[in-house]
Amino acid sequence: MRSPSHKNIEVKQSITDMQVQLDIEKLSTVLDNLISNAVKYTPEHGKISIHATRTKNDLEIAIKDNGPGIPDANQKDLFSPFYHGEQASDSLVASSGLGLFIAKEAASALQGELRYITSDAGAHFLVRIPLSSMQPNHVQPTEVTNR
């Protein structure tokens, strides 16, 4: 994967400092796939934003980019295995078609959800993990900080 700096992508983050107990490997799987896609499909000199906050009941993480976005007609298949959108088919971007499927499965394993939010420009994904699912069994305290 090309790094954001190789494409001169501006990455903005707004992350509320918090400590939660969850499976960091599963959360990393979700975020790695979403951020990787954002970098792949965001054009040179584009923008990616990452916003994480803790609400009363959930950990919410939003990832947005100003790439081509996903047409309405393609959104129903977005999380299917081996799905390639029009942008992947029409571009030189290498893709297995598994990233969003894997990310959604990892979010589900955390008893959470991964949704695509329809947007006028770019792609917008929302990860929501209920705080009630963050039990001390098989998890480690994880500090989420704005670095």
pLDDT tens, position by position, 51-77: 999 998 899 999 999 998 888 888 888
Cα–Cα distance for residue pair 29/37, rounded to 1 Å: 12
Cα–Cα distance for residue pair 17/1, rounded to 1 Å: 28
Cα–Cα distance for residue pair 117/115, rounded to 1 Å: 6
Residue 29's alpha-carbon distances to 71, 91, 110, in angstroms, are 25, 25, 11
DSSP strands (E only) in the chain? 10-15, 18-22, 47-54, 58-65, 113-116, 124-130, 140-144
**Domain extents for the chain?**
29-144
**Domain 29-144 coded CATH 3.30.565.10:** yes
Q: What is the pLDDT of residues 14-49, one digit of tens each?
A: 998 888 888 899 999 999 999 999 998 899 999 999
